[in-house]
């Protein structure tokens, strides 16, 4: 290992630890035991087709192309890092980002669902964050709905020939925001307001999650763009091999 | 990495840090609890008293809440795993380019 590399690693490690000590508290994800059983099962079942598709797609990609493994590992690691950083927001509470945008852009939304569920299981078991009973619902919002929207935004902007970096930024941040909107809807479906029903409830939950998440969505967009810049300059052959934009 | 890419990279990181740090510095005395807790408060507001019907696995094993310090340790472990993988591959990719072996497989 060169001196320079060692320094880089030390700097990154210090940076991540400094961020890791943000006051520990639960943020995002539906809490363990807070979703009625029927909803837990329903969301879980809804996730299955996506997970199975994702698993088969990943297997195919990796079987055909060993180079993809590097990028896949990095996308997964990116989710690990990003979703462990709890960041203070303007509303005076902490929340964290999802990090699934990168994987969605590189590998497509289905493949990311596998990466996402690994992180969610890790957090549910070890961190009492999110939960095993609400795993289905959380997987749906963070590892399926978010990435699908990211991918959609990415494809749309690509078609409109928008600046490449701006495209990545928009895809990641909108995907992050949508994750929380879906969480709000999931909670609202389970807890419709007595006066006004589900819609009023959606607004109430959005009022809790959305303002906190807005600045964080921007941060997620910025960080995703930053790592895409790194990958574009150092991992061109790998990006090409998975069919990421040809002009790079 | 080209020069303007480097600049953009630096701007992105600095902007991200500022967005994260400013609320913390500006809102003195704010609690910075999780938005999850705010979520459960909202559930109770809408639904009335609510008793979660299942408690986290680790919490039922140790029979109580995970101490704050341990929780931050576990979160750091998560960050560490991620950063380790990214830094390892980034280092290899960087070095590969530096040696001019761009097209070799890792």
Size of interface A-B (CB pairs under 8 A): 247
Q: Is A202 a residue whose pLDDT tops 80?
A: yes
DSSP A195: T
CB contact under 8 A, B79 and A20: yes
pLDDT of residue A240: 87
Residues 6+ apart with CB under 8 A from B81: A77, A80
For the segment B20-44, the average pLDDT, to the nearest whole number, is: 75
Residue A61 and residue A161 in contact, taking contact as beta carbons nearer than 8 Å:
no
Over residues B50-90, the pLDDT tens digits come to 777 777 777 777 777 778 788 888 888 989 999 999 999 99
How many whole angstroms separate alpha carbon A29 and alpha carbon A27?
A: 7
Average of per-residue pLDDT across B23-43: 73
DSSP letter string, A148-165: HHHHHHHHHHHHTT--HH
Task: Kindly list the residues from chain B whose CB atom is less than 8 angstroms away from the CB atom of residue A95.
Answer: 34-35
Residues of A in contact with B103 (CB under 8 A): 237
With a cut of 80, say whether residue A14 has pLDDT above it.
no
Position A133 pLDDT exceeds 80: yes
CB proximity B44 to A under 8 Å: no
Determine the average pLDDT of the residues in B79-103.
90
Mean per-residue pLDDT for A111-138? 87
Per residue in A69-98, pLDDT (tens digit) is 999 999 999 999 998 888 888 887 888 889
Return d(Cα A28, Cα B35) in angstroms, integer: 6
The model's pLDDT over A26-71, given as tens digits with 9 standing for 90+, comes to 346 787 878 888 888 898 899 999 999 999 999 999 988 888 899 9
| Mean pLDDT for chain A overall | 84
From CA A139, how far away is CA A122, in angstroms rounded? 12
At residue B21, does pLDDT exceed 50? Answer: yes
What is the predicted pLDDT for the residue at A27? Answer: 45
Out of B16, B38, B58, closest to residue A126 by CB = B58
Q: Is residue A2 classed exposed, middle or buried when 0-12, 13-18 and 19+ CB atoms within 10 A define those classes? A: exposed
| pLDDT tens per residue across span A146-171 | 999 999 999 999 999 889 899 999 99
The average pLDDT across A209-213 equals 84
Question: What is the rounded distance in angstroms from the CA atom of residue A195 to the CA atom of residue A208?
Answer: 19
- Reply yes or no on whether the pLDDT at B32 is more than 50: yes
pLDDT score at A11: 59
Mean pLDDT within A177-195 = 86
Q: Which residues contact A96 (CB under 8 A, 6 or more apart)?
A: A27, A28, A82, A83, A84, A85, A86, A87, A216
Distance separating alpha carbons of residues A134 and A24, to the nearest angstrom:
21
**B contact test, residue of A18, A23, A101, A128 with most B CBs within 10 A:** A128
Q: What are phi and psi of A86, to 5 degrees?
A: -90, 125
Residue A184 φ/ψ, nearest 5 degrees: -60, -45
Closest chain A C-alpha to B66 CA, distance in angstroms: 8
Burial class for A200, CB neighbours closer than 10 Å (0-12, 13-18, 19+): middle
Residues from chain B contacting residue A122 (CB–CB below 8 Å): 78
Contact B80, A13 (CB under 8 A): yes
Q: What is the ipTM of this complex?
A: 0.83
Q: Is the pLDDT of residue A175 over 90?
A: yes
Task: State residue A50's pLDDT score.
Answer: 92
Of residues B9 and A2, more confidence is placed in: B9
The answer to whether residue A243 scores a pLDDT higher than 70 is yes
Return the DSSP state at A139.
I
The mean per-residue pLDDT over the stretch B47-51 comes to 70
């Amino acid at each position: 290992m060169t001196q320079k590399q060692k320094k880089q690693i030390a700097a990154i490690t210090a940076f991540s630890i400094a961020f890791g000590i943000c006051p520990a508290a639960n943020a995002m994800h539906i809490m363990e035991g807070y979703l009625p059983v029927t909803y837990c099962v329903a969301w879980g079942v809804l996730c299955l087709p996506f997970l199975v598709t994702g698993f088969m797609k990943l297997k195919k990609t990796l079987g055909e192309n060993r180079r993809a493994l590097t990028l896949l590992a990095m996308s997964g690691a990116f989710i690990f890092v990003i979703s462990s950083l709890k960041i203070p927001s303007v509303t005076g509470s902490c929340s964290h980002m999802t990090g699934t945008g990168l994987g969605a852009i590189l590998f497509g939304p289905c493949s990311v669902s596998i990466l996402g569920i690994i992180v969610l299981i890790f957090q549910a078991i070890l961190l009492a964050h999110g939960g095993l009973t609400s795993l289905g619902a959380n997987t749906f919002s963070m590892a399926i709905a978010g990435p699908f929207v990211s991918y959609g935004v990415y494809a749309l902007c690509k078609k409109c020939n928008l600046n490449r970096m701006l495209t990545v930024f928009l895809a990641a941040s909108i995907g992050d925001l949508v994750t929380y909107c879906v969480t709000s809807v999931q909670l609202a479906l389970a807890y419709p307001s007595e006066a006004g029903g589900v819609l009023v409830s959606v607004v109430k939950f959005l009022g809790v999650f959305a303002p906190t998440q807005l600045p964080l969505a921007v941060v997620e967009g910025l960080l995703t763009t930053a790592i895409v810049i790194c990958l574009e300059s150092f991992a061109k052959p790998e990006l090409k091999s998975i069919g990421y934009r040809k002009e790079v | 990495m080209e020069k303007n890419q480097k600049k953009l990279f630096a701007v992105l990181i600095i902007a991200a840090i500022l967005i994260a740090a400013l609320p913390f510095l500006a809102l003195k005395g704010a609690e910075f609890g999780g938005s999850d807790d705010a979520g459960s408060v909202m559930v109770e507001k809408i639904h009335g008293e609510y008793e979660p019907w299942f408690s986290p696995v680790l919490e039922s094993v140790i029979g109580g809440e995970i101490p704050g310090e341990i929780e931050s340790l576990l979160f750091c472990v998560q960050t560490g795993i991620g950063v380790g993988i990214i830094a390892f591959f980034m280092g290899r990719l960087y070095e590969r380019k530096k040696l001019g072996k761009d097209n070799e497989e890792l």
